[in-house]
Structure 1
């Protein structure tokens, strides 16, 4: 009698149990091999997202911690994450067996396991040295200020945080360092900013970079008013507060002190004194609330008015920045750090503070590496 088809296909020298066992092993190897091929891509998708979130949270916490340190007059420390490397390891085990019984047929058993491990290595680099400190303490260039404005940050936010003097108007100048003991001048500066913001919302004011083609290519930062701006009361108020020549449309913005000895009407341009990145951090640090015990024991400076009353720094910064404090870990915080036994946090619903925090982070990234020499920002005399 002819043998069955299965018996004909069985390799020579293989008994039926051995043939079935080889088939099981072959199938298992294929399955495990397929798992190895897909494991790498799955690990990349999962681990990259986790590291991305962790790095963002770590950067935010470091920046907030340094702002709190400045409030206490403690030294800030910056650590940069240089490299993140991860080693993936995979261990597989496989157990297979077969029992042959004449009556019940073959009984197969298959078992195994896969163990997946990661070993991350993170390299931290302290940001220090004379070069870094100089960039941190150098007043911001007008090109950088314009870059932040063109990136979408409002003129009011940029000027509030980064400008400490606009012509003769002061924006808490001494706030660019440790918390002063006496209340700052800032009200008239804020009035000028409100006038500028009103015109900006009407689409009648913006900061632009004007290219000059006379001789060598040059450029300057200009406060530009549109046609119809002088029909608005905000323009008249801005001209009065800054001492500007009326009915002009372009006012070059120049660093304070650049035009000394130049015979040009003062009302034809706007002098700006910017803060350094460290000065901007000091300025925002005054908006960090502190525990009453720390205030009472003198661990932080209490600014006072001429009448001897405690000055509220939220009058200067509340519209753009505010950090709360709590004895327990906050539950509704976008960023929170523990320092000196208390929690300091940015409320997740405080969108203005989160925006200013993000802008400050961008500023520090811009200043973390040397910038190319900026182009000239002023050409005098002003012809229009």
Structure 2
């Protein structure tokens, strides 16, 4: 084998490397897993921070403002270059040849934001949640003693309390007892909630199990007497109202998301005004948020956060996020669309 041919063979691996760099391996295949994880994590964190910021703003007397991420388009481009130089004449060994190349990967993300305003703001924030939505959440397993104090104004005229100045009212002495009885019956599945679609509306029905133990029987008796429900009526019709029309109805008056956020805002720590003992969530404040905060935002010169070890506040905050998603009736723009070209 001649000397020139040997030098060409020595350059063969480098030539193959250059061809690989300039190849057509799909960027999308390599990026999908990374992008989905990164965007999901960031969107989740951003939603938490925006919700907390609006709760803090309401506590300071400012109007809520939600800016939704309606789409995320992440576009990639790859530019590759290669260069090969070779000398055939056996002049000097160092002049046998040279190879070089480069690959540049560029990302051009486009994020679309949609402010929650107008009719959609009215539907999502000012309209009361439907009883079917609240009971469907209960049917899905959410504890009634967490759900009802947050989302319900009254059950058959038994009123929930509110410490928000715009909606302030004293709680009925039996409201907590009614919710506790519902929770015990929910835990033992003695009270079944069923939500079904009827034409273009949803109908919620409640049914009591025939065979009851002594505690369940005591709870059913208490609820029947306090709520004015007829025993043995079979399924109860659930309606949106303060008071039932007859003893076969369960009338539930629900809060709007604006009311819910106002209620949570009463749990924000303010100088000289500690949150009431009945606050549904505890939002701490200080010059700097701790490292282990569940979520933290800066407002003015202070930081506000939910403690990472405050399980009660974290559960209530999570439930509020769920209620926000359910209350959003704006159609397809309600959830972010993440588009990542995979070609």
Q: How would you bin the TM-score normalised by the shorter chain?
A: 0.7 to 0.9
Residue in structure 1 matched with residue 341 of structure 2 by the alignment: none
The count of aligned residue pairs is: 328
Q: Deviations over 1:43-96 (max 9, x none)?
A: 333223212211111111111111111122211001111222223233334455
Query: What SS does the corresponding residue of 1:343 show, helix, strand or coil?
Result: strand
C-alpha separation in 1, matches of 2:253 and 2:95: 88
Matches within 5 A, 1:1-384: 6=1, 16=5, 19-20=8-9, 23=12, 26-34=15-23, 36-94=24-82, 96-97=84-85, 109-173=98-162, 175=164, 178=166, 180=168, 184-185=170-171, 187-209=173-195, 220-229=203-212, 231-232=214-215, 233-246=218-231, 249-256=234-241, 264=246, 266=247, 268-288=248-268, 290-292=269-271, 295=273, 313-317=276-280, 321-370=281-330
CA gap of 1:103–1:109, structure 2 versus 1, over 3 A, is closer
Query: What SS does the corresponding residue of 1:120 show, helix, strand or coil?
Result: strand
Query: What SS does the corresponding residue of 2:205 show, helix, strand or coil?
Result: strand
Check the 8 A contact 1:89/1:116 in 2, yes or no. Answer: yes
C-alpha separation in 2, matches of 1:259 and 1:199: 21
Q: Deviations over 1:15-66 (max 9, x none)?
A: 64884587466313322134x5154422333223212211111111111111
Gaps of 5+ in 2: 332-343
Check the 8 A contact 1:88/1:117 in 2, yes or no. Answer: yes
Check the 8 A contact 1:222/1:253 in 2, yes or no. Answer: yes
TM-score for both structures, normalised by structure 1: 0.73
Residue in structure 2 matched with residue 308 of structure 1 by the alignment: none
Gaps of 5+ in 1: 1-5, 296-301, 303-311, 372-384
CA gap of 1:174–1:229, structure 2 versus 1, over 3 A, is farther
TM-score for both structures, normalised by structure 2: 0.80
Q: Which moved more, 1:15-24 or 1:123-132?
A: 15-24
CA shift for structure 1 position 109: 4.7
Check the 8 A contact 1:206/1:224 in 2, yes or no. Answer: yes
Structure with the greater relative contact order (CA < 8 A, sep ≥ 6): 1 or 2?
2
Residue in structure 1 matched with residue 337 of structure 2 by the alignment: none
C-alpha separation in 1, matches of 2:36 and 2:201: 44
Let me know the Cα RMSD of the aligned residues.
3.5
Check the 8 A contact 1:20/1:98 in 2, yes or no. Answer: no
CA gap of 1:219–1:63, structure 2 versus 1, over 3 A, is closer
C-alpha separation in 2, matches of 1:219 and 1:130: 22
Check the 8 A contact 2:136/2:195 in 1, yes or no. Answer: no
C-alpha separation in 1, matches of 2:330 and 2:80: 50
Check the 8 A contact 1:70/1:178 in 2, yes or no. Answer: no
Query: What SS does the corresponding residue of 2:141 show, helix, strand or coil?
Result: coil
User: Which one has the largest radius of gyration?
Assistant: 1
CA shift for structure 1 position 292: 1.9
Q: Deviations over 1:269-295 (max 9, x none)?
A: 32211111211222222222x2325x3
CA gap of 1:105–1:73, structure 2 versus 1, over 3 A, is closer
CA shift for structure 1 position 237: 2.9
